[in-house]
Structure 1
Amino acid sequence: MTSSEIVELRRALGQLRHCVGSLRTRYGDIAAVQRLANDVERMDIDAIELMELDSTPRPREAPRVEREVVVVPDTPYDPKLWHDADDEGLGGYRHT
């Protein structure tokens, strides 16, 4: 974001904060007003983080690694592969 965009964002958040204050005066501290106030505060924190990003050097991106695609067949396995294997789903040994 450019600094002018951040300034505009902070101005809009100030207006939102004012509107939420007016809602709190009118409706009291009900859950909906509390959620709106929390949302505005969270956006303000995020805006501050964006401002800090502009003042710190950005890390270089890690090179992309090509991954090999392994195709797993969907045909049933040979039941002999599982002979004498533990059946963990039933909590014990399966005797055949």
Structure 2
Amino acid sequence: MSTTEMQDLQRTIGHLRQCVGSLRSRYGDAVAVQRLSNDLERLDIDARDLAERPPVEVHAHSGERIQVPNEPYDESLFRGSDVDDEGLGGLHGDR
């Protein structure tokens, strides 16, 4: 995680802390406010852990790309008594 990302995260946690403080002033120790406060503390702990011991970065593997043609499929693929065109919501009789 870059320094900018960590700064943004800390700034956001600080803003959340202010919001939860405002809620606590307004609603006291209501159960929902206590849960938000606990969640905020967990976020703070996790952010600190991430900064101190960053995990190995994961690089997305794009894999092989398969070209899908824009042309309609051959209608003969969908003819027959036991064929269901699931892409169109099931059997529709004659087309």
Q: TM-score, normalised by structure 2?
A: 0.55
State the alpha-carbon separation in 1 of the partners of residues 9 and 35 from structure 2.
Answer: 20
More strand by share: 1
Deviation at 1:3, TM superposition (A): 1.3
Question: Per-residue displacement from partner, 1:52-80 (whole Å, max 9, x unpaired)?
Answer: 014x99xxxxxxxxxxxxxxxxxxxxxxx
Q: Which ranges in structure 2 are unaligned for 5 or more consecutive residues?
A: 57-95
Counterpart residue identity of residue 30, structure 2: I
2:8 alignment counterpart: 8
Normalising by structure 1, what TM-score?
0.55
Q: Let me know the Cα RMSD of the aligned residues.
A: 1.9
Q: How many residues align?
A: 57
Cα separation, 2, equivalents of 1:3 and 1:48:
13
Residue aligned with 1:29, SS: coil
In the aligned structure 1, how far is the partner of 2:48 from the partner of 2:3?
A: 12
SS at match of 2:29: coil
Output the amino acid matched with 2:18: H
Paired position in structure 2 for 1:27: 27
Identity of aligned residues (%): 57
